[in-house]
Amino acid sequence: MTSPDAWRAAGLYDPDAPDAAERLELLEHLSTIGITDEEMVAANVQGQLITAGADKMLVGDRTLTAVDVARAEGVPVEKVLRVWLAIGLPIDDPERSPLPDDAAFITGLFFNGESTFGEEALLGFSRVLGAAASQVAEAAVALFLGEVQPQLELDHASELQRALANEGALESFGGVGDVLLRLVREHAITSVARSRQARGQDPAAPLELEMAVCFVDLVGSTPWGLRMALAEQAAAIGRFESAAWEEAVRHGGRLVKLIGDEAMITAPSAVDACSIAVDVCDRVGRDAVLPPARGAVGFGTVLFRAGDYFGPLVNLVARAVKAAQPGQVVVTSPVAEMVRGRFPVGPVIDHDLRGVDDSVALSPLL
């Protein structure tokens, strides 16, 4: 352990400062967990001394470059750069930018699968993986900043307490990968079953699926948001997202994505999709803070690619949701016929939707 005199000489410690005892406590802890004086000085210059331990845990060992990985895999370095760009982690300098020591493993998985799936398809899948990983990481950081950090401020936590909180959060985060591995497998089982049900027996167009598409959005969310504190708005939007996720799962659907105040959901049947839309609107309507929700449901052929759905039906339903009244769900004519007897269906009304050439017949669920 380096002495207080050395820390004083390095500008890390002032024995005459009011918080001297607190700072010494932090430095002794960092030294104990293997943070060198040089690393402490560098972190202190950046104003990150408290998180020096957590940062080292997070970054880990980095001794490889993109050139090293390309040489190990026997591929041009440009291919390595393209893979890492696809997963959302661009490499600035292939000869100097440090990569994690498992970079060869990550990149090697791509090249192993390339012969089976093809380069472009696998790059598309890599983008999905990168987006998912980024979202998990952002949510983990937001969880700490939103829940732990404010409590540390309220408790007037010492530097050591803050350091330990950051390091503890990183230790907890270490188990996320194991959880994700198991969750991906279980969701794959559900996804295979869902795609078989939607695709039926037509193997000629494996990426064209017959299914229901549902959009639900919040009415007047922009002026509503301007009247609220950001924290209250975020909490309320979180409840909308929870409602969309839970009702999609409850009725055998899938929450494809959230786009601000709008949710896109797919389901194997029109009845399932209508149940999801109606229940989400009902839950939002009972929320004391959220503005009302509205929904639209269509059924037909969609193109499935990289975990998302595309095609004219998706575009139509995304536009149709704007035709619904607050708290209302509108459906296309094919859906109206499919759900009649399960849901009360109102009269057919022709709507001119933005971006759709012909008028579209929509009926409200009553």
- What residue ranges do the domains of the chain occupy? 4-49, 66-174, 204-364
- Beta strands (DSSP E) in 111-261 are 208-218, 254-259
Residue linked to tokens 């509503």: 224
Return phi, psi of residue 129, to 5°: -60, -45
Give the chain's end-to-end CA distance (angstroms, integer).
Answer: 73
Flag whether the pTM goes above 0.85. Answer: no
Q: Give the C-alpha separation, 69 to 108, whole Å.
A: 9
Q: Which structure tokens are listed for 275?
A: 């149940």
| pLDDT by 10-residue block (mean), the chain, 366 residues | 86 93 94 93 93 91 91 90 87 91 86 83 82 82 84 92 92 84 83 61 59 95 88 88 88 87 93 96 95 96 83 93 95 94 92 82 92
- Beta strands (DSSP E) in 311-359 are 329-332, 349-351
Topology of the domain comprising 204-364: Alpha-Beta Plaits (3.30.70)
b/e per residue, 167-205, with b = 16+ CB within 10 A?
Answer: bebbeebeeeeeeeeeeeeeeeeeeeebeeebbeeeeee
Q: Give the C-alpha separation, 46 to 52, whole Å.
A: 10
Q: In 200-262, which residue ranges form alpha helices assigned H by DSSP? A: 221-226, 230-250
Rounded to 5 degrees, what angle do the CA atoms 93, 96, 101 make?
Answer: 110
Please report, for residues 191, 209, 222, the alpha-carbon distance to residue 321 in angstroms, rounded to integers and kept in the order given. Answer: 26, 22, 16
> Please, which residues have CB within 8 angstroms of residue 155's CB and are 6 or more apart in sequence?
161
Q: Give the C-alpha separation, 299 to 311, whole Å.
A: 12
Q: Give the C-alpha separation, 188 to 230, whole Å.
A: 36
- The DSSP symbol for 311 reads S
Q: According to the model, what pLDDT value does residue 203 have?
A: 43
Q: According to the model, what pLDDT value does residue 195 have?
A: 63
Q: Which of 298, 222, 301, 237 is nearest to 264 (CA)?
A: 298
Q: According to the model, what pLDDT value does residue 201 have?
A: 42
Q: Which structure tokens are listed for 46?
A: 């950046």
